[in-house]
Amino acid sequence: MHEAIRRVYTQLCSVIRGQDEAVRHVLFGLLAGGHVLLQGVPGVGKTSLAKALARLCGGSFRRIQFTPDLLPTDIVGNAVFHPSGERYEIVRGPIFANVVLADEVNRTPPKTQAALLEAMEERQVTLYGETLPLPHPFFVIATQNPIEYEGTYPLPEAQLDRFLLQVEMDYPPLDAEVELLTDHAADGAADRLPAAAELTLETWRALCREVARVRVQPSILRYIAELAHATRSRPELVLGASPRAATALLDAARAAAYWDGRDYVIPDDVQAVIHPVWRHRLQLNPDAALEGVRTDEVIARVLAAVPVPR
């Protein structure tokens, strides 16, 4: 199973050039049973990465293009009345899939964004008083553009908190972009993906179970708690890491340990994932934001200030 997820990584990196770290972090989210928010400028491969991952994973895939006129029922489903039988039938929406791509998630109003809250947290949807479980496993990959704000609706803290990781996708290095252009000229990028999925649903479920069994020593648990407490007294922040942020860091660290072939977590695993796990959960105060301080910089200061367990 460990080799299977490594093959998925190799396949994705062969298509999404120059984004190896982003691909790895997305797979951490999949292994940990969380959801991932992909953020980057247009054209760096956010949607392509999500679609390629869905193709390599067994199970169903649905893409939802978020627009200003999208309604909650367009996501979760609706009830249709049948006059002949004088009854209502629930029609399930595209959220009922193993992999759901929420493309440009910040282009829809908060009312529609809220339709994802129950699904992402509880793995269920309530329609007309009936609670319907979502497929297992269930993985949401959302994308958003960080520089174009016209016609967008910033995700509220409650919605951001549902994402295990926020993965940044930047421009690829020069050599990787040359390889990308070579692939495009040959029209062969899509052909490198196998016709069959690398992960069956059962393998995917088993991977998640193995990651959940990765051992964590009390010293690591205390280290994570101390990191969370340190963010709450930083002068640059008005909102530090919550207990949910600490448990998210633990889950992602387990995935990082499993990725490296270990059944136990070390401080390096925590440090490897703390930026994508916490960067969207910390809120800068207005002065720090005006000075151009980034949450990644604050996280780095916290890491430097908290002693690493031996």
CATH number at residue 270: 1.10.8.80
Kind and range of the H or E run holding 6? helix 2-15
Q: Contact at 8 Å (CB) between 102 and 66?
A: yes
| Three-state DSSP state, 127 | strand
Backbone angles phi, psi at 57, to 5 degrees: -100, 140
Does 60 share its domain with 108? Answer: yes
Residue 198: the pLDDT is 82
Owner of token pair 């991952």:
53
Does 178 share its domain with 101? Answer: yes
- Say how many C-beta atoms besides its own lie within 10 A of residue 51's C-beta: 20
The more confident residue out of 213 and 310 is 213
Determine the Cα–Cα distance for residues 185 and 201; give it in Å rounded to an integer: 34
Task: Please state the rounded mean pLDDT for residues 205-214.
Answer: 95
133 within a domain of the structure (yes/no): yes
Task: Please state the rounded mean pLDDT for residues 87-113.
Answer: 89
Going 25 to 289 to 282 to 231, the CA torsion angle's sign is: positive
Residue 80: the pLDDT is 82
Task: Please state the rounded mean pLDDT for residues 68-80.
Answer: 89
Of 66, 127, 139, which is closest to residue 97 (Cα–Cα)? 139
Residue 283 has pLDDT above 90, yes or no: yes
Host domain of residue 130:
2-68+96-201
Helices 295-305 + 267-278 axis angle, to 10:
150
Residue 193: the pLDDT is 64
79 within a domain of the structure (yes/no): no
Task: Please state the rounded mean pLDDT for residues 160-167.
Answer: 94
pTM of the model: 0.91
Task: Please state the rounded mean pLDDT for residues 220-229.
Answer: 97
Residue 47 has pLDDT above 80, yes or no: yes
The chain-wide mean pLDDT, for the chain, equals: 90
Total domains in the chain come to 2
Does 270 share its domain with 151? Answer: no
Work out the burial of residue 301: count CB atoms within 10 Å of its CB; fewer than 13 is exposed, 13-18 middle, 19 or more buried. middle
Determine the Cα–Cα distance for residues 193 and 132; give it in Å rounded to an integer: 33
251 within a domain of the structure (yes/no): yes
Residue 84 has pLDDT above 80, yes or no: no
Helices 243-259 + 218-231 axis angle, to 10:
130
**Banded model confidence at residue 242, pLDDT cuts 50, 70, 90:** very high
Residue 182 has pLDDT above 70, yes or no: yes
**Cis link prior to 218 (omega < 30° from 0)?**
no
Residue 168 has pLDDT above 60, yes or no: yes
Residue 151: the pLDDT is 67
Count helices and strands in the chain by DSSP H and E runs: 14, 11
Q: What percent of the chain has pLDDT over 90?
A: 62
**Banded model confidence at residue 188, pLDDT cuts 50, 70, 90:** low
Q: Which of 104-108, 187-191, 222-226, 250-254 has the lowest mean pLDDT?
A: 187-191
Residue 270: the pLDDT is 97
181 within a domain of the structure (yes/no): yes
Q: Which of 144, 178, 201 is the last residue of a domain?
A: 201
Does 36 share its domain with 173? Answer: yes
Does 299 share its domain with 227? Answer: yes
**Banded model confidence at residue 128, pLDDT cuts 50, 70, 90:** confident
Residue 110 has pLDDT above 60, yes or no: yes
83 within a domain of the structure (yes/no): no
- Say how many C-beta atoms besides its own lie within 10 A of residue 227's C-beta: 22
Residues in the chain: 310
Residue 186: the pLDDT is 78
Determine the Cα–Cα distance for residues 271 and 84; give it in Å rounded to an integer: 61
Tokens coding 269: 């695993």
Q: Which of 201, 227, 256 is the last residue of a domain?
A: 201
Residue 189: the pLDDT is 52
**Banded model confidence at residue 102, pLDDT cuts 50, 70, 90:** very high
Task: Please state the rounded mean pLDDT for residues 219-244.
Answer: 95
Q: Which of 201, 228, 263 is the last residue of a domain?
A: 201
147 within a domain of the structure (yes/no): yes
Does 9 share its domain with 54? Answer: yes
